[in-house]
């Protein structure tokens, strides 16, 4: 999502380039190169996933753009909002980016949110994860809240949710900087210190992979729990 | 003209009682005082009291009314078997002649047809309704001409006069019938259903131990088995196909039995699949994958087994297995051991990556030839070197890739065949185009160019009429190919979206041989006795349909095209029963009405059900076969039936035309009488 801020847009593109490279190397997803999207002019339906770095001074989308965004969210798209301020602010308060995000989100059809629960499908769409760091390692990452009636079923490790993918992920861990590579494939920004920093970058990439897998496969991994049962039932 | 003595008191009764009490007290006082004129005083008081009570003669002018005799003639279906119709007529003539000889008697004849639907003989309802129209006080008798088999005895009204049954049927009547006692409306395909059959002899039946039962499914050639009479028979049935299965059981007509209408039973069982099991194999995560999942998971009758190749074997990132959420693809289990349990296998952008060995793919081909279904939802990889077409499966796929992949926008179109095909029929009506011709749905942007084999059908076309959706039948199975992976754009609402869910749903169900999506089909939608005959075909025209009724009469009907590939007509069936439809290619069997009409459950005439009611009114049961009867008049409460005769009770009903009331004595006579007595008392007592 183009913000109008040249540096931010460059970093976002580099971040998604890094994520695409990782997907290409490690999974069967072989994405095309990331594209910058101008909300006012471009059609959103083709994009399975939008990364939206929030800057303090970006303009609010127009009414038509909001209509487009809401349609996109309703029909199964996903936006990752990144306020990139997890080192200085808690989610939803304090920083100018946080206030901007609130302003942007006011007119969006965003369902009730909750911090990623430990049994969310995002924690296991490809890698098993419990932390979702980017360049920063805040635990404040929010997704659509589970429906109230999604009870934990006896004997099931996960709650049985519908195939609906969370339309938004909101956090401030500055994932793009952790993912970013330049055109020759070198890391552009340092993450943390030494080996633990590299580990954090690895987990950040794994988070990116999981997000893309979640967008494309929905609750596939939740259902895999039932597959052994189904196979057992076959032929009976 | 009748006269009765009535009291017409001049003062209210309580007052009269007080006056009488005072007079009595005075009398007692005079007796106690030993007055010699006490009896004269008493008489005077009595006269005065009588005068106050004012006895009068009431005279009525009466006009006698005629008596009414109800004759209820049962003309339900069970009264049309054997010679009962003649018996009915003879009995009615007999009664008419007899009643004509009775003075001052009217006859009301009510005829009763079959009850609405399968109500049977509603004799008591008819009696109640007829009685409600006549004054109860004039009804002198009720005569039923029936076989006594009624189905609404609980609705019997209060009877004001004797009821008689003139019973049809012959003493030696007997009948054999077939009963199916538990037939389910639905049954799961492949599972046995137990039907309980019983062949029962009623009445004066000849001794027979067994009878030949023929069983015919969907009007096919019958299978004949000997079965014992008078025993419950458990018959296990496994339905041959989905949709409506019509099972007909018939026993031959026996010499001398009353009717053959209850010798057959038609049972319609809707065959449903337990669960449709779908195996979805996604070659890679892609935007269309979730639309497949949404479709298959929202269908409650589908068990989805889904595998996505998240990581191909050649890609490794050195992450320990316990940090990965990946499970092995159980290929051997799925494609060798349990493949026959799936109703449909979908390859969604699958490419050959060395995961499925050739022998497995060959096994999938065998699976299709033996009745399975494979749907290829292809992407650009289908045109490439890793295409699944370049495997043993390719030989049966309905489209050979030319290696060209177009990445241009196009509006998918329904072909001429597609307009007639149930998968795409009227699909464009779901996305009407406000601006004129063509479907109103959005564009797709990728098309894999394929060459379609001659046997396959192209029901949708894309860029420059290149095939987009092709279908084919291989052996007993079905295959189809979507030559684009962009159906999800419809789901996303791009350019208004399109009926993507409906298209994929129909496609999947067609592949799984759902009966309502067969291309060539002839079926009937009955509403009561009206049949809507519908023929769906891929041909441009269809022949006439021959309808064979339960009695063997044939009717030729011409169907009219109501929409492409769909021909319809509406026909009123003359009676309930089994109809066969045949248009030379397709056949259908439809049973209108109940499998065994209630009228024919009990056919032997019997007064059993009516007996308590009849004897409660002193009436009698007269078999018509015993000869004609006389009608006599009897007094109410007396036995009203005997050998060769039945009685009616004249009600002597009348209408009062005028009433006049005249006092017994004029007032002056009372005055004179009382004065004489008082004066007499005075004289007698004064003489002392």
ipTM of predicted complex: 0.86
Mean predicted confidence (pLDDT) in B181-205:
83
Whether A217 sits inside 8 A of B282 (CB atoms) is yes
pLDDT above 90 for B432: no
The reported pLDDT for the residue numbered B555 is 85
What is the pLDDT confidence band of residue B470, given thresholds at 50, 70 and 90? very high
B475 min Cα distance to partner chain A (Å): 23
Return the percentage of chain A with pLDDT > 90, whole number. Answer: 7
pLDDT above 90 for A105: no
Considering only the beta carbons, identify the residue of B307, B309, B493 that sits closest to A71.
B493
Distance of CA B93 to CAs B31, B69, B100, B145, B605, Å?
Answer: 77, 14, 10, 11, 20
Considering only the beta carbons, identify the residue of A27, A76, A127 that sits closest to B492.
A76
Both tokens of A229, joined, read 């049962």
B478 min Cα distance to partner chain A (Å): 21
pLDDT above 90 for B21: yes
**Residue in B470, B462, B482, B324 with CA at minimum distance from that of residue B406:** B462
Q: Sheet containing A142-144: which strands, arranged edge to edge?
A: A49-53, A78-82, A168-171, A142-144, A113-115
Contact list in A for residue B491 (CB cut-off 8 A) is 75-76
Q: Helix B667-686 and helix B38-53: axis angle, to 10°? A: 170
Instruction: Report the topology of domain B174-273.
Output: Immunoglobulin-like (2.60.40)
What is the pLDDT confidence band of residue A87, given thresholds at 50, 70 and 90? low
Tell me the CA end-to-end span of chain A in Å, nearest whole number. 52
State the CB neighbour count (10 A cutoff) for residue B330: 15
Whether B493 sits inside 8 A of A26 (CB atoms) is no
Nearest CA in chain A to B327: A224
The reported pLDDT for the residue numbered A160 is 42
For B393-544, where are the E strands, in sequence order? 400-406, 413-414, 447-451, 457-461, 467-474, 477-482, 521-527, 530-536
State the CB neighbour count (10 A cutoff) for residue B644: 11
Considering only the beta carbons, identify the residue of B293, B305, B319 that sits closest to A227.
B305
pLDDT above 80 for A156: no
State the CB neighbour count (10 A cutoff) for residue B185: 8
CATH of A6-233, one of 3.40.50.2300, 3.90.180.10, 3.40.50.80, 3.40.50.12140: 3.40.50.12140
**Cβ-based burial of B312 (10 A; exposed 0-12, middle 13-18, buried ≥19):** middle
The reported pLDDT for the residue numbered A90 is 61
Whether A231 sits inside 8 A of B333 (CB atoms) is yes
pLDDT above 80 for B140: yes
Mean predicted confidence (pLDDT) in B196-218:
83
Q: What is the pLDDT of residues B61-118, one digit of tens each?
A: 888 888 889 899 988 888 888 788 888 899 999 989 988 888 888 888 988 887 776 7
What's the mean per-residue pLDDT of chain B? 85
The reported pLDDT for the residue numbered A153 is 44
The reported pLDDT for the residue numbered A141 is 83
pLDDT above 50 for A30: yes
The answer to whether the beta carbons of residues A176 and A51 sit under 8 Å apart is yes
Q: Helix B289-298 and helix B500-511: axis angle, to 10°? A: 70
Beta bridge partners of B107: B69
pLDDT above 80 for A151: no
Burial string for B415-427 (b: 16+ CB within 10 Å, else e) reads: bebbbbbbbbbeb
H-state helical runs in A28-174:
63-74, 96-105
Return the percentage of chain B with pLDDT > 90, whole number. Answer: 7
Equal CATH topology for B66-173+605-652 and B174-273: no
Mean predicted confidence (pLDDT) in B415-435:
83
Number of Cβ pairs closer than 8 Å across A and B?
110
What is the pLDDT confidence band of residue A155, given thresholds at 50, 70 and 90? very low
pLDDT above 50 for B417: yes
The rounded distance, in Å, linking the Cα atoms of B356 and B527 is 52
Nearest CA in chain B to A123: B325
What's the mean per-residue pLDDT of chain A? 81
C-alpha of B40 from chain center: 87
The reported pLDDT for the residue numbered A39 is 83
Return the percentage of chain B with pLDDT > 70, whole number. Answer: 98
Nearest CA in chain A to B302: A230
pLDDT above 50 for A201: yes
Q: What is the pLDDT of residues B331-346, one digit of tens each?
A: 888 888 888 888 899 9
Considering only the beta carbons, identify the residue of A45, A125, A220 that sits closest to B306.
A220
Test mutation, B492, B495, B497, B498, chain A, max A CBs within 10 A: B492
The reported pLDDT for the residue numbered A157 is 42
Q: What is the architecture, at CATH level 2, of domain B66-173+605-652?
A: 3-Layer(aba) Sandwich (3.40)
The answer to which of A91-95, A181-185, B398-402, B514-518 has the lowest mean pLDDT is A91-95
**What are A's interface residues with B at a Cβ cutoff of 8 A?**
25-30, 43, 45-46, 48, 71, 75-77, 124-128, 163, 165, 206, 212-213, 216-221, 223-224, 227, 230-231, 233-235
The CATH homologous superfamily of the domain defined by B521-592: Macroglobulin (MG2) domain (2.60.40.1930)
Give the start-to-end residue ranges of the domains of chain B.
2-63+656-686, 66-173+605-652, 174-273, 276-314+327-511, 521-592
**Residue in B362, B375, B313 with CA at minimum distance from that of residue B335:** B362
The residue that leads in pLDDT, A80 or B220, is A80
Nearest CA in chain A to B331: A231
Contact list in B for residue A220 (CB cut-off 8 A) is 289, 293, 306, 308
Considering only the beta carbons, identify the residue of B290, B307, B340 that sits closest to A218.
B290
pLDDT above 80 for B562: yes
CATH of B276-314+327-511, one of 3.40.50.2300, 3.20.20.140, 3.20.20.100, 3.40.50.880: 3.40.50.880
The answer to which of A93-97, B42-46, B594-598 has the lowest mean pLDDT is B594-598
Contact list in B for residue A233 (CB cut-off 8 A) is 303
**Cβ-based burial of B188 (10 A; exposed 0-12, middle 13-18, buried ≥19):** middle
The reported pLDDT for the residue numbered A44 is 83
A53 min Cα distance to partner chain B (Å): 23
Q: What is the pLDDT of residues B614-661, one digit of tens each?
A: 888 888 888 888 888 888 888 888 888 888 888 888 888 888 888 888
The reported pLDDT for the residue numbered A91 is 52
């Amino acid at each position: 999502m183009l913000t109008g801020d040249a540096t931010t847009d460059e970093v976002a593109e580099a971040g998604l380039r890094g994520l695409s490279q990782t997907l290409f190397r490690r999974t069967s997803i072989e994405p095309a190169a990331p594209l910058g999207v101008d909300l006012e002019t471009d059609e959103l339906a083709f994009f399975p996933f939008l990364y939206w770095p929030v800057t303090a001074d970006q303009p609010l989308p127009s009414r038509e753009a909001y209509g487009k965004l809401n349609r996109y969210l309703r029909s199964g798209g996903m936006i990752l909002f990144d306020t990139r301020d997890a080192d200085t602010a808690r989610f939803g308060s304090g920083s100018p980016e946080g206030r901007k995000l609130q302003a942007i989100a006011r007119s969006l059809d965003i369902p009730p949110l909750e911090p990623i629960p430990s049994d969310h499908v995002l924690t296991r769409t490809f890698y098993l994860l419990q932390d979702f760091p980017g360049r920063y390692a805040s635990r404040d990452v929010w997704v659509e809240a589970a429906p109230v009636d999604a009870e934990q079923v006896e004997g099931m490790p996960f709650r049985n949710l519908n195939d609906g993918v969370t339309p938004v992920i909101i956090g401030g861990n500055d994932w793009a900087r952790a993912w970013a590579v330049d055109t020759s494939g070198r890391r552009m920004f340092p993450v943390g210190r030494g080996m633990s920093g590299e580990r954090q970058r690895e987990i950040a990439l794994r988070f990116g992979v999981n997000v893309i897998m979640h967008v494309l496969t929905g609750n596939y991994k939740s259902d895999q729990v039932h597959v052994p049962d189904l196979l057992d039932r076959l032929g009976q | 003209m009748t006269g009765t003595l009535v009291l017409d008191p001049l003062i209210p009764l309580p007052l009269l009682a007080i006056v009488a009490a005072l007079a009595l007290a005075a009398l007692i006082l005079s007796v106690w005082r030993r007055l010699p004129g006490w009896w004269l005083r008493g008489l005077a008081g009595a006269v005065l009291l009588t005068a106050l009570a004012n006895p009068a003669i009431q005279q009525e002018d009466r006009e006698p009314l005629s008596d009414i005799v109800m004759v209820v003639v049962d003309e339900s279906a069970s009264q049309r078997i054997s010679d009962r119709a003649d018996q009915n007529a003879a009995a009615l003539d007999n009664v008419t002649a007899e009643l004509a000889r009775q003075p001052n008697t009217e006859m009301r004849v009510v005829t009763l047809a079959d009850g609405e639907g399968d109500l049977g003989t509603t004799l008591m309802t008819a009696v109640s309704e007829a009685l409600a129209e006549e004054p109860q006080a004039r009804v002198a008798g009720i005569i039923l001409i029936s076989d006594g088999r009624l189905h609404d005895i609980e609705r019997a009204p209060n009877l004001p006069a004797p009821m008689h049954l003139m019973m049809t049927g012959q003493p030696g009547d007997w009948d054999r019938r077939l009963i199916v006692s538990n037939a389910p409306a639905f049954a799961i395909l492949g599972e046995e259903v137990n039907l309980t059959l019983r062949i029962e002899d009623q009445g004066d039946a000849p001794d027979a131990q067994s009878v030949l039962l023929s069983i015919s499914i969907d009007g096919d050639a019958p299978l004949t088995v000997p079965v014992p009479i008078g025993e419950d028979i458990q018959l296990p049935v496994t339905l041959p196909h989905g949709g409506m299965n019509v099972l007909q059981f018939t026993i031959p007509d026996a010499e001398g039995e009353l009717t053959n209408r209850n010798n057959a039973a038609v049972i319609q069982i809707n065959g449903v699949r337990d669960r449709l099991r779908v195996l979805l194999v996604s070659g890679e995560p892609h935007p269309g994958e979730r639309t497949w999942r949404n479709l298959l998971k929202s269908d409650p009758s589908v068990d989805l087994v889904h595998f996505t190749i998240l990581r191909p074997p050649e890609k490794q990132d050195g992450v320990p297995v316990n940090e990965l959420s990946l499970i092995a693809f159980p290929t051997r289990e799925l494609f060798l051991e349990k493949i026959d349990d799936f109703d449909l296998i979908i390859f969604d952008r699958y490419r050959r990556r060395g995961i499925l060995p050739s022998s497995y793919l060959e096994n999938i081909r065998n699976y299709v030839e033996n009745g399975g279904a494979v749907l290829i939802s292809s992407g650009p990889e289908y045109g490439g070197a890793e295409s699944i077409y370049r495997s043993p499966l390719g030989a049966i796929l309905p489209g050979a890739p030319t290696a060209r992949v177009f990445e241009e926008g196009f509006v998918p179109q329904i072909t001429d065949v597609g307009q007639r095909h149930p998968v795409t029929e009227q699909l464009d009506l779901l996305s009407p185009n406000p601006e004129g011709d063509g479907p109103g749905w959005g564009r797709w942007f990728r098309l894999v160019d394929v060459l379609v084999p001659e046997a396959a059908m192209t029901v949708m076309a894309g860029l420059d009429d290149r095939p987009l959706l092709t279908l084919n039948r291989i052996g007993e199975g079905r295959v189809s190919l979507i030559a684009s992976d962009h159906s999800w754009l419809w789901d996303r609402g791009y350019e208004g979206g399109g009926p993507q869910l409906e298209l994929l749903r129909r496609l999947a169900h067609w592949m799984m041989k759902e009966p309502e999506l067969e291309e060539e089909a002839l079926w009937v939608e009955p509403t009561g006795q009206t049949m809507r005959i519908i023929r769906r075909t891929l041909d441009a025209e269809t022949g006439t349909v021959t309808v064979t009724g339960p009695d063997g009469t044939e009717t030729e009907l011409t169907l009219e095209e109501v929409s492409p590939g769909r021909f319809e007509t509406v026909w009123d069936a003359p009676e309930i029963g089994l109809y066969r439809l045949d248009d030379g290619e397709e056949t259908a069997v439809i049973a209108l009405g109940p499998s065994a009409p209630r009228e024919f459950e009990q056919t032997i005439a019997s007064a059993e059900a009516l007996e308590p009611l009849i004897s409660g009114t002193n009436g009698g049961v007269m078999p018509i076969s015993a000869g004609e009867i006389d009608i006599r008049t009897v007094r109410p409460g007396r036995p009203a039936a005997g050998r060769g005769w039945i009685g009616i009770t004249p009600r002597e009903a009348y209408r009062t035309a005028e009433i006049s009331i005249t006092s017994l004595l004029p007032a002056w006579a009372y005055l004179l009488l009382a004065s004489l007595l008082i004066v007499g008392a005075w004289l007698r007592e004064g003489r002392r």
